[in-house]
Amino acid sequence: MELSILNMAGKETGKKIALNDAIFGIEPNDHAIYLDVKQFLAANRQGTAKAKQRSENAHSTRKLGRQKGGGGARPGDLKSPVRVGGGTIFGPVPRDYDFKLNKKVKQLARKSALSLRAKQNELIVLDSLQFEAPKTKAMVEVMKALQVAGKKVLFVTAENDLNVIKSAANIQRTNVVTANELNTYTIMNSNVVVLTEASAAAIEATFKA
């Protein structure tokens, strides 16, 4: 697939980029996307919820009533789960929510997410994205020129550029990642993906490796 390359002013440079159809032109696999997003969110869960079990409750173990003559079964101690302030039955304990997902499935999911953005015309390629110094106003002007202001925008750079990262830091719903940090969740959590020529080449190199 071919896309026109734009500059930071939103104008066509007259150049085109041929994106690899094996990465940007496949039929999106919705189930692979679902699994990869689910795995990403699960891996990011803290898993620190904790409720005290019966044995962990700090209550007296004295008998609450006489052995006989009460008209029913002898009540247990104050730690009993059926009493107010007692232990919790099957309460949550710290755990790891992460689960294994095959590498090929994760690759298919990323390709599917990128292909979906390309298919829906939500993929933009810039010749470069550079600022002399961190400046939010400069990034806002670029977004306005690209007609993506107000949308969830994902900028993908080839390498870490602090000027670009800091320029986008205070803009809501705008995210900057490098090509090797790109994952299915960040792609699907954006309305528009903006690549640079260098980052597009880096993405293709990542999948070939």
* Higher pLDDT pick, 34 / 60: 34
At the topology level of CATH, where does 2-45+99-208 sit?
Ribosomal Protein L4; Chain: A; (3.40.1370)
HSE of 85, CA atoms in CB hemisphere, 13 A = 5
- What pLDDT is recorded for position 59? 85
- What pLDDT is recorded for position 209? 61
Q: How much of the chain exceeds pLDDT 90, in percent?
A: 82
Nearest to 173 by CA among 155, 161, 160, 195: 155
What is the residue extent of each domain of the chain? 2-45+99-208, 47-96
Is pLDDT of 189 > 90? yes
Least confident of 24-38, 168-182, 195-209: 195-209
Name the residue type at position 68: K
Long-range contacts of range 44-51, CB-CB < 8 Å, 24 or more positions apart?
A: 45/97, 47/94, 47/95, 47/96, 47/97, 48/94, 49/92, 49/93, 49/94, 50/91, 50/92, 50/93, 50/94, 51/88, 51/91, 51/92, 51/93
- What pLDDT is recorded for position 60? 81
DSSP bridge partners of 4: 16
- What pLDDT is recorded for position 151? 95
Counted residue by residue, the chain has a size of 209
> What does the DSSP assignment read for 21-74?
HHHHSSPP-HHHHHHHHHHHHHHT---------GGG-------SS-SSSSSSSP
Least confident of 79-83, 139-143, 186-190, 199-203: 79-83
Is pLDDT of 76 > 80? no
- What pLDDT is recorded for position 131? 94
3-class SS of residue 206 = helix
> pTM for this structure?
0.85
- What pLDDT is recorded for position 185? 97
Q: Taking the CB of residue 152, how many other CB atoms lie within 10 A of it?
A: 14
Q: How much of the chain exceeds pLDDT 70, in percent?
A: 100
CA–CA distance, 3 with 136 (Å, rounded to integer): 27
110-145 tens-digit pLDDT: 999 999 999 999 999 999 999 999 999 999 999 999
